[in-house]
Amino acid sequence: MRIIRAPTLARAHELAVRTVLEKGWVLETENDEATIECEELAFEVESPESEPMVSPASRFQQRFLDAYAENLLHGSDAKFEYDYHRRLFDWGERISAEGEDVHVDQIAYIARKIAAAPNTRRAVAVTWNPVVDEELDDCPCLQLVQCVLRDGKLQMKVVFRSNDILSAAGANMYALVRLQKAIADRIGVPCGRYTHIALVPHVYYRRDLNDIEPFCKKGAEIQPVAEVCRACGKCPRATRA
C-alpha cells in the first residue's frame, strides 16, 4: 500500500492521480475498458476543510461538487441502480426482519454511538447489500465509513473497493468531508483527520484522456507510464514512450 499525506484534499487528489499514472500498469476491466491500475492507496488529510478542497486540474469544479455533496447528504430525485444517500441513511433495500422492511439510518447511528461512547470504535456504516449488489452491473465503490472521536475531533476513515482516481475521487472526498462535517456538527465537535483508502485505484486512461492533460501538464508535473503517453500523443514523451 502506498500512503499519501497531503495538506489539502486538492493536493491529495493531485498526488493520487500522479501515483496511479506513474506507478500503475495496464489492465482491461471485465467490461473491456482500458485502465491504469495501481496497488492500494491511502491518503490522509489532517485538516480536510482547508482550502483548496478542489484541484484546479479537475474537470469537476465547485458547483458540480456542491451538488454532488448535497445529493449524498439529502438525496436526489434522479434514478440510479444505487445511490450513496440511500445506502448510508436508509440501508436495507429488499431486506426484512420480523416481518418488517429494514430501514437503517446509519449516519444517525454513528452520531448517536459516538455521543454515547466517545471512545468507541464501532461507529461504522456500510453500503454493500448482497441481496441487491450481487446482481447489479453498477454496484457501490464506497464500502465502509468509520468515524472516531480522538483528541476532541471527529475523524473519518473510508474504504473504497474500487476508485476512479481521476474522475471520481475528488468528488468522493469532497462529499464525504461534507458528511464528516455534518456528523461533527451533530455531536458538537470540530472535524479532524480524513483518511481515504482505495483498494483498487485506477484511471480510465482512454475514456478520460482529455482529463489527464491538466494534471500532467505535458509531462511537466507527471510522467505517466508509456501506454498513457502513446494514447495521448500531445507531447514529446509520446514519441519516446
Which residues belong to the active site? 141
Q: What is the DSSP letter of 31?
A: T
Q: Which residues contact 110 (CB under 8 A, 6 or more apart)?
A: 123, 124, 125, 145, 147, 183
- Helices marked H in the chain: 9-23, 62-74, 84-89, 106-116, 130-133, 169-187, 209-216, 226-232, 237-240
Alpha carbon dihedral 98, 100, 101, 104, in 10-degree steps, equals -80
The C-alpha cell at 177 is 468531508
Q: Rounded to an integer, what distance in angstroms lies between the CA atom of residue 191 and that of residue 183?
A: 9
| Cβ(115)–Cβ(154) below 8 Å | no
